[in-house]
Amino acid sequence: MDAADALNEIAFWLERDLAPTFKVKAFRNAAETIQGMGEDQLAEGVRTGRLRKMGGIGDRTFEVIRQALEGQVPDYLEKLRSAAKPLVQGGQGLRKALRGDLHSHSDWSDGGSPIEVMADTARILGHEYLALTDHSPNLKVANGLTAERLAKQLDVVALINEQSESEQSDGFRLLTGIEVDILEDGTLDQEAGMLDTLDVVVASVHSKLRSDKHTMTRRMLGGIRDPHTNVLGHCTGRLVTGSRGTRPESEFDAEKVFAACVENDVAVEINSRPERQDPPDNLIQLALDAGCLFSIDSDAHAPGQLDFLQYGAERAVLNEVPAERIVTTWPLEKLLEWTRRKR
């Protein structure tokens, strides 16, 4: 098999299982190191041992490359594949019904991998579409995209889709998008003209999460009522576990917020990140009763995290969310008709 593909797949399985970042990076860095090297050049590097001396290549990655060049599935990759189990026990039927994911990040903002690697992994997982939703400029800590950088990213996405159409027959589509901050005054943190051009807009609150209930409700309602907004991202902002510690839910009038989502045709995100589990079950039930649509999204910041949709699917099934009210079960044409009809 292709050596770079083997290295990237190993990184995927490690990432999916929440392995330490340095382990994941070792394989992904090795893949980047050999990217573009021909098979003959690689084979010569293995034969002479020169490859082992290159920066980014360690003993284990060297062995993976050597075995891949010999036509084998590398032992370490085979071991990871064999050990792989579903991340959750429930929700497998709904997970199979999910056609895509409307919330993901690349190394253009605070993600860890290039856009191309995120797209390739989504395709391998069987996605029909993936929305690239890097952060907006107000979130400087996450290297949010200015309008100028976002415009350049749109060109990259267009090129990836052109190449996909010419090289693949699976119909996969990388969607243009953004996770745009809902600012303190309820406006969205990106130029309206840029938002007009996008396939998907996820609107989220990332700052002053401990504001009082009235202030937070007013802020969220402003973002939901903006005609560009398609999805309300991780609505409570909570963290229940993980390396960043825990964080309580933001306080807001959920009945008013979910009523506004229905009125403005905005889906409530079921965020699949295990440290978020957002919204909590009681708010999913409130949103269900209000008549909301939902979007099960990974909020992936790395390729292995794209498989986190399993967590969201399980929570949706446990809360008896009907599949037809989950927009990420919709075919691409229906989805895009929905995201664009307010603009």
At 234 the pLDDT is: 98
Span 147-159, pLDDT tens digits? 999 999 999 999 9
Asked if residue 120 lies in contact with residue 132, where contact means CB atoms within 8 angstroms, the answer is no
The CATH architecture to which 92-340 belongs is Alpha-Beta Barrel (3.20)
Q: What is the DSSP letter of 316?
A: H
**Per-residue confidence band for 291, with pLDDT thresholds at 50, 70 and 90:** very high
Span 63-72, pLDDT tens digits? 999 999 999 9
- pLDDT above 70 as % of the chain: 100
Alpha-carbon gap, residue 290 to 254, rounded angstroms: 10
**Per-residue confidence band for 179, with pLDDT thresholds at 50, 70 and 90:** very high
Alpha-carbon gap, residue 214 to 208, rounded angstroms: 13
| Mean pLDDT score, 183-194 | 98
**Per-residue confidence band for 311, with pLDDT thresholds at 50, 70 and 90:** very high
**Per-residue confidence band for 47, with pLDDT thresholds at 50, 70 and 90:** very high
Span 88-115, pLDDT tens digits? 999 999 999 999 999 999 999 999 899 9
Outline where DSSP puts E strands in 87-209: 100-101, 129-132, 173-181, 200-204
**Per-residue confidence band for 343, with pLDDT thresholds at 50, 70 and 90:** confident
Residue 164 has pLDDT above 90, yes or no: no
At 165 the pLDDT is: 84
3-state secondary structure 287-343: HHHHCCCEEEECCECCHHHHHHHHHHHHHHHHCCCCHHHEHHHCCHHHHHHHHHCCC
Span 312-340, pLDDT tens digits? 999 999 999 999 999 999 999 999 999 99
Structural domain boundaries in the chain:
3-83, 92-340
- CA neighbor of 180 nearest in space, from 165, 191, 172: 191
**Per-residue confidence band for 58, with pLDDT thresholds at 50, 70 and 90:** very high
Fold of 3-83: DNA polymerase; domain 1 (1.10.150)
User: pTM to 2 decimals?
Assistant: 0.93
Span 229-274, pLDDT tens digits? 999 999 999 999 977 889 999 999 999 999 999 999 999 999 999 9
Residue showing tokens 């949706």: 316
